[in-house]
A and B are shown apart, each in its own frame.
Chain A
Amino acid sequence: MGFYDFLSGNWPEVRDATVDHAILVLEGLGIAVAIGLPLAVLIYRTVLPRAVVLGIAGIFLTIPSYALFGLLITPLGLGNGPSIVALTMYAFLPIIRNAVVGLREVDPAVVESARGMGMSRAKILLSVELPLAWPVIVTGLRVAAQLLLGIAAIAAAVNGPGLGNLILQGLDKAGTPFAIYLTIEGAAAIIALAVLFDAAFALLNRLTTSRGLSA
């Protein structure tokens, strides 16, 4: 049986796993943004808290993924829970760091003149600083998404959803002719998702960034 015959045989499984994979990544990303962005806003003007938060986010990223997923089984059990939490932790560094960098790069003269015109602190943040930092923030999201797409394959090891399951099946069947097909399916679908996500974020950036900021 050739690869294409094999693929047409288990296509529904590949399709469902791909959708699950994308959802898993988006969940991790969403939670990381929901926590990371406000956190970045709180710390970008400080010194010590900024160093501490970025330091911790950096440490998260260095924990080997198998170890982190495994460690999370104890408090969170198997399945979705540990998978989402692990992905969130990995996404923190690119998201928070880019948001902090983007906010710190806003021209102080722009912020000062906004204050000088009588804009409130909240208004300056929402209508000046965040829009100006936005392209850098979106780049952080894009990097985080690529990172998570790869790491999310490990979720299968803790009974999580996604394309990792195809790869894991392949490992189980090592030595049989199907092993290689399953692995190729899993890897190819992840690459396809990566390309798709990248294009989506590029589009998001284009649509949501002021023309005044693009080159």
Chain B
Amino acid sequence: MTDVATGTIRLEKLTKSYDGHGKPAVDSLTMDIPAGEIVVLVGPSGCGKTTTMKLINRLIEPTSGRIYLDGKDVTRENPDLLRRRIGYSIQQTGLFPHRTVADNIATVPRMLGWSKDRTAARVDELLNLVGLDPDTYRRRFPKQLSGGQQQRVGVARALGGDPEVMLMDEPFGAIDPLNREALQNEFLRIQAELKKTIVFVTHDIDEAVKMGDRIAIFSQNGRVEQYDTPEKILSEPANEFVSSFIGAGAAVRRLSLSRLADVEVPDNWPTVGADDSADRRRVAAAGTDRDFLLVLDADRRPVGWLPAAEAAEDGRTVPLLGALGPGDTLYEALDRMLTYSSTGHVVTDAEGRYRGVLELDSLRTLIHANNSAAGQSQEVS
């Protein structure tokens, strides 16, 4: 069993019954959590997500079953030592109100016996990682932070001892949608660097689709109805429960899984160079029935729209609205189309250079291709 990757978790026939409650909160759950991935537990309230998560770090002791970490049975290991290897962050943050931000983050490093210097360096590193300036925030107390900043410190504290595994119970739950999205994005960026094994609990399917490499959909009693990638769950829900849980918007949600970097974007839009002569502009305008030409600078970066009717006159351009980058998804493209009434939306590559232009029609073609690629044989509307 020694060849198991660090951070692998296996739950085997885990059961938790509370005395005097008929059905177990978690009933014979078996689940493999691969190292370095974000596994999201999602499901309706009371289905046993939190219980499952706390079984992993044994804040709740199982009635029966086994827990393996790195292939080693930890069901009987000293729970305090086990927990120092597992980061834990919860919605209420649970920060120590009587300790400074730095002391909070230093909690686990100190228990692990790290030196003062190493601990202090770790605190600063983590504050930077979660986007808080160490010099400003190190000495603050939790109540001197906004809710979102507290959540960031909570995540930093959970990362304190550089654990191989992180358990996060609705860590962004108590935050307004705008900040939550920012935190989610930052967290994904951090995870791309750290590659921890993360068990993430939420009851928001959108958050699950966004955050998860894999999603486990729970119904009552900790029963896992489907455990798969977001793509698979959205396109091939295993049963009635899963389809009703992901709801009517599954087709739209799936759009948020396709990045523009991965799709073909039509690149036949008429373009002119910013330094082109009036003649060349007139020729370009004459060769198309589009109302606007796209103006590119010397590096082929889009700078604006040139009305075809005025192509010959001295290039007043209309500004680009809602340009799309490679990280944007089909969902964002559609959203942009609906937000701005302009017909075409420029798509750029990672360097900001022109890749193509999306219109409602070409986007519809992409969406349809996306749906059939995902295995959905739906009627074309």
- Interface residues, chain A, CB within 8 Å of chain B? 107, 109-120, 128, 131-132, 210-213
Verify if B81 is at the interface (C-beta below 8 Å from A): yes
B92 touches A212 (CB 8 A): no
Q: What's the Cα separation between A91 and B142 when bound, in Å?
A: 35
Q: Is B218 an interface residue (CB 8 A)?
A: no
Give the segment of B38-46, B83-91, B205-213, B356-364 that binds chain A.
Answer: B83-91
Question: How distant is the Cα of A107 from the Cα of B107 in the complex, in angstroms?
Answer: 18
Contact B111 A117 (CB under 8 A): yes
Interface assignment of B93: CB less than 8 Å from any CB of chain A: yes
A109 with B93: in contact, given A116-B88, A117-B111, A212-B142 (CB under 8 Å)? yes
Q: State whether A113 touches B90 (Cβ < 8 A).
A: yes
Q: Which 8 A-B pairs have CB atoms at the shortest separation, nearest pair first?
A: A113-B94, A212-B141, A116-B88, A118-B83, A210-B98, A109-B92, A118-B84, A109-B94
> B59 and A115: CB pair below 8 A?
yes
Measured CA separation A116–B97 after assembly (Å) = 17
How many angstroms between the C-alpha atoms of A107 and B90 in the bound complex? 13
Task: Check A118–B80 contact: CB distance below 8 A.
Answer: yes
Known interface pairs A116-B83, A118-B108; A131-B92 also in contact (CB < 8 Å): no
The interface residues of chain B, by DSSP majority, are classed as: mixed
Whether B98 pairs with A131 at a CB distance below 8 angstroms is yes
Report whether B94 and A112 are in contact in the complex, using a CB–CB cutoff of 8 Å.
yes
Is A110 in contact with B80, judged by CB distance below 8 angstroms? no
Question: A119: which of B111, B142, B157, B167 is its contact (CB, 8 Å)?
Answer: B111
Could you tell me the distance in whole angstroms from the C-beta of B316 to the nearest C-beta in chain A?
Answer: 59
With contact pairs A112-B59, A132-B98, A210-B99 given, residues A118 and B81 touching in the complex (Cβ less than 8 Å): yes
B92 touches A107 (CB 8 A): yes
Chain A residues with CB under 8 A of B82? 118
Of the residues A117, A132, A212, A213, contact of B88 by C-beta under 8 Å: A117
Is A116 touching B93 in the complex (CB atoms < 8 A)? no
The answer to whether B290 has its CB under 8 Å from any CB of chain A is no
Take A109-B92, A109-B93 as given contacts and tell me if A117 and B107 are in contact as well, using a CB distance cutoff of 8 Å.
yes
Are A212 and B57 touching (Cβ within 8 A)?
no
Question: Is B143 an interface residue when CB atoms closer than 8 A count as contact?
Answer: yes
Nearest CB in chain B: distance from A169 CB, A: 49
Evaluate contact between A212 and B143: CB separation under 8 angstroms. Answer: yes
CB of B100 within 8 A of chain A?
A: yes
Query: Which residues of chain A are within 8 angstroms of B158 by Cβ–Cβ distance?
Result: 117
Q: Is the CB of A110 within 8 A of B95?
A: yes
**Bound-complex Cα distance A110 to B259 (A):** 40
Query: Hey, which chain A residues are within 8 Å of B142, CB to CB?
Result: 212
Return chain A residues, CB-CB under 8 Å to B90: 109, 112-113, 116
Say yes or no for B331: interface residue by CB 8 A criterion: no
Interface residues of B in 101-141 (CB under 8 A from A): 107-108, 111, 141
- B96 at interface (Cβ–Cβ under 8 A)? yes
Known A212-B142, A212-B143; contact A117-B96, beta-carbon cutoff 8 A: no
Q: What separation, in Å, do the CA atoms of A111 and B96 have in the docked complex?
A: 9
Instruction: Name the CB-closest residue of A to B160.
Output: A117
For residue B160, which residues in chain A have a CB less than 8 angstroms away from its CB? 117
Chain B residues with CB under 8 Å of A114's CB are 94, 96, 107
In the complex, which residue of chain A has the Cβ closest to the Cβ of B111?
A: A118
Closest A residue to B154 by beta carbon equals: A113
Shortest CB-to-CB span from B88 to chain A, Å, is: 3
Question: Are the C-beta atoms of B59 and A119 separated by less than 8 Å?
Answer: no
Chain B residues near A119 (CB-CB < 8 A): 80, 107, 111
**How far in angstroms is the closest Cβ of chain B from A124?**
10
Report A-chain residues with C-beta under 8 Å of the C-beta of B92. Answer: 107, 109
